[in-house]
Structure 1
Amino acid sequence: MAASAPQVGGEDSPPQPEFLSREASEEAGRRRRSRSIAIALVLLGMVILFYVITIIQIGNAVSGGAAS
């Protein structure tokens, strides 16, 4: 008895178009670019935050203060 290949999507998922119009494709590209920029900014903010926290903790340890 052979197992059938799993279906992509399912009965509840809407049908996927074979192709997108030029306008829809450009809009999807703009959304993807905006999302990528937002993710990059969030990651950059986290890197800066971790860097600042690390510098503060090192400064406290060197000066003899209590590190949190």
Structure 2
Amino acid sequence: MSTTATSYRLQVPAVPPKPTPGCPSCADLARRRAQAAAVGDYSQASDCNIWIGRHDYHQPPISR
């Protein structure tokens, strides 16, 4: 039986996503991101970056 080891090289994004001004959800996520980073919880900070970047408020409306 053969196993293959895979290694991954994770990198911190060069520029974290910016919260949309005036969006309460983005403001909350930015606050949570800052708190997580302050205590060294970079996994949670990364999750907040993903949620900010994927937040529907950032998506342009679908034109029909």
Identify whether the pair has TM-score above 0.5, normalized to the shorter chain. no
TM-score under structure 2 length normalisation:
0.30
Which structure has greater helix proportion?
1
Higher relative contact order structure (alpha carbons within 8 Å, sequence separation ≥ 6): 2
TM-score under structure 1 length normalisation:
0.28
